[in-house]
Amino acid sequence: MNLTTKQADEYIGAKATDGRRPKYHLAPPVGWMNDPNGLTYYRGAYHLFYQYHPYDTLWGPMHWGHARSEDLLSFEPLPVALAPDGEEEDGCFSGGAVVRGDELVLLYTRHYEREGFKRQVQCKAVSRDGVRFTKERGVCIDTAGLPEGASRTDFRDPNPVRIGDRYFIFVGSKNERDEGQILVFESSDLSNFTYFTTIFDKRFGVMAECPDFFTLGGKDVLILSAIALPREGDKFRNVSACVYAVGKFDLEQKRFDIEYLDEIDGGYDFYAPQTLLDGRGRRVMMAWLQIWGEKYFLHEKGFDWNGSMTAPRVLSLKGGRLCQQPIDELKNYYGAEIDYFDGATVTKVQDAEFVLSEGASVRFENPALSQEYFELGVRDKTLYFDGSALPGEKKECRRVCGVDGDCVSVRLLLDSYSAEAFVGGGEHTFTAAVFMGGDRYRVRMSGGAYAARAHEITVRTEETV
């Protein structure tokens, strides 16, 4: 394809940005966004790339959009980093970044698809300033060196990680029985790559996408997105699920021993998470705040952007389970405190903490249309999130988790088009894209629900470079 970054930047620059946007969640200037890519901390700033189709609010030839941030909450849009401009390149699919000396190195999937023939290989682009990227000619990891049975067509989303003095690249794959697996490659210089091992588990779906490997609290953690993972009770209810596996990646034995595996987020809209290690040693995760196979509401309503990222979440392990908490810097954006009572109308952009006991609920209604709402509550010792009355596609009321004690505390991050719930110490999270008219909610509180604290989040300004 001959779509260039220059052409994309000119197109974006000529478009007026839609004022109806999330306030502290990253969304594209115009066009479509899906997976976060190359999340990294480079030269004192966070860099976040994303799967991007500037020319439409639906998925199309994939570019890498790019934004830089001091705190992952205010973003400075940067020029498009990658465009599908190669002869055998119909899309620059997802991938990761790694810092090598003073360079920022991106690994991405070159996707080629013509007349029923599909091929995916891993390629590289390098930058010395974190703004302009030069693709290296040639292919880093070709399908030729793949182990037997590994798909030649579904082989994508490289995640380069430095362990000791070696680089390991985790890549999404599936085997000949349509079972997801992760292929690991090894490199000493990011120029020559050799196959290292395969990580397999039957809970990796029919194809494992977007792997991300890291160490946390003395354990190794592998997260990935598993296509069509069958539902298990309350788990894995979306078309594809994001899972984390905690265990040990044994370099000698060349195996990843999984001690525990679970879903990352139980909500309707959460996919393709990636992490980075920041300058303070925190492991921070962000994901696409949407999912495949939906009717995309913003597209249908004629917005000129579609898709956003979740809020940045700091990860920890408690008793071997992954916990997520909103990044602390959010507090720097706190505005006025919000007074919660039954019937109050409140801003859509806020950080609030609720205490809910059996029979309690808090509902957020469209003030102009009270049949449109979402609700959080506790019933039968279960915390639920009910999105069934949200406009758009029908959502089921879902169990978030069981409630053991007398009550449960839920922190809710709200932005213009989303709700993210963090339960207790972040052992459970629930992410939902939320589309309702207006910029305020009417709150309905019942059964003794109360807000322990709530702050409006102040609006940021965006600057274009």
Contact in structure between 412 and 348 (CB atoms under 8 Å): no
35 vs 415 by CB, closer to ligand FRU: 35
Q: Which amino acid is at 195?
A: Y
Cα–Cα distance for residue pair 428/285, rounded to 1 Å: 14
Contact in structure between 182 and 199 (CB atoms under 8 Å): yes
35 binds ligand FRU (CB under 6 A): yes
How far apart are CB 124 and ligand FRU at their closest, in Å?
Answer: 16
In a 13 Å sphere around the CA of 263, the CA atoms on its Cβ side amount to: 26
Phi-psi sector, 370: left (phi>0), alpha (psi -120 to 50), beta: alpha
Out of 209, 375, 415, 420, name the contact with ligand FRU by CB under 6 A: 209
Among positions 259-288, residues that touch ligand FRU (CB under 6 A) are: 271-272
Out of 21, 24, 27, 34, name the contact with ligand FRU by CB under 6 A: 34
How far apart are CB 94 and ligand FRU at their closest, in Å?
Answer: 4
β-pair type (134-135, 45-53): unpaired
Among positions 299-358, residues that touch ligand FRU (CB under 6 A) are: none
Out of 5, 40, 51, 159, name the contact with ligand FRU by CB under 6 A: 51
113 vs 129 by CB, closer to ligand FRU: 113
123 binds ligand FRU (CB under 6 A): no
How far apart are CB 172 and ligand FRU at their closest, in Å?
Answer: 6
Cα–Cα distance for residue pair 384/376, rounded to 1 Å: 6
110 binds ligand FRU (CB under 6 A): no
90 vs 365 by CB, closer to ligand FRU: 90
Instruction: Pick the closest to residue 275 from 221, 329, 218 (CA basis).
Output: 221
Residue 373 exposed, middle or buried by CB count within 10 Å (0-12, 13-18, 19+): buried
120 vs 324 by CB, closer to ligand FRU: 120
Out of 25, 156, 363, 395, name the contact with ligand FRU by CB under 6 A: 156
How far apart are CB 207 and ligand FRU at their closest, in Å?
Answer: 8
94 binds ligand FRU (CB under 6 A): yes
Contact in structure between 158 and 98 (CB atoms under 8 Å): no
Residue 330 has which token pair?
């959010």
Out of 41, 46, 93, 213, name the contact with ligand FRU by CB under 6 A: 93
How far apart are CB 98 and ligand FRU at their closest, in Å?
Answer: 18
How far apart are CB 225 and ligand FRU at their closest, in Å?
Answer: 6
183 binds ligand FRU (CB under 6 A): no
Active site residue 189: no
Instruction: Pick the closest to residue 430 from 368, 369, 358, 354 (CA basis).
Output: 354
Pick the catalytic residue: 9, 18, 35, 404? 35
Q: How many CB atoms lie within 10 A of CB 346?
A: 21
68 vs 111 by CB, closer to ligand FRU: 111
212 binds ligand FRU (CB under 6 A): no
Out of 157, 220, 265, 304, name the contact with ligand FRU by CB under 6 A: 157
58 vs 459 by CB, closer to ligand FRU: 58
How far apart are CB 449 and ligand FRU at their closest, in Å?
Answer: 36
290 vs 366 by CB, closer to ligand FRU: 290
Residue 158 has which token pair?
């490289």
89 binds ligand FRU (CB under 6 A): no
Q: Which amino acid is at 422?
A: F
Q: How many residues bind ligand FRU (CB under 6 A)?
A: 14
Residue 361 has which token pair?
């609920």
CA triplet 161, 165, 168: central angle to 5 degrees?
Answer: 30
The values of phi and psi at residue 4, to 5°, are -110, 165
223 binds ligand FRU (CB under 6 A): no
Residue 198: strand pairing partners: 183
412 binds ligand FRU (CB under 6 A): no
Phi-psi sector, 426: left (phi>0), alpha (psi -120 to 50), beta: left
How far apart are CB 174 and ligand FRU at their closest, in Å?
Answer: 11
Out of 5, 74, 109, 274, name the contact with ligand FRU by CB under 6 A: 109
Residue 201 has which token pair?
């588990």
Cα–Cα distance for residue pair 379/401, rounded to 1 Å: 11
Contact in structure between 276 and 270 (CB atoms under 8 Å): no
Cα–Cα distance for residue pair 89/83, rounded to 1 Å: 9
How far apart are CB 266 and ligand FRU at their closest, in Å?
Answer: 18
DSSP string, 170-229: EEEEE-TTS-EEEEEEEESSSSS-EEEEEEE-GGG-SSEEEEEEEEETTEEEEEEEEETP
Binding site for ligand FRU (CB under 6 A): 34-35, 51, 62, 93-94, 109, 156-157, 172, 209-210, 271-272
Which residues are the active-site residues?
35
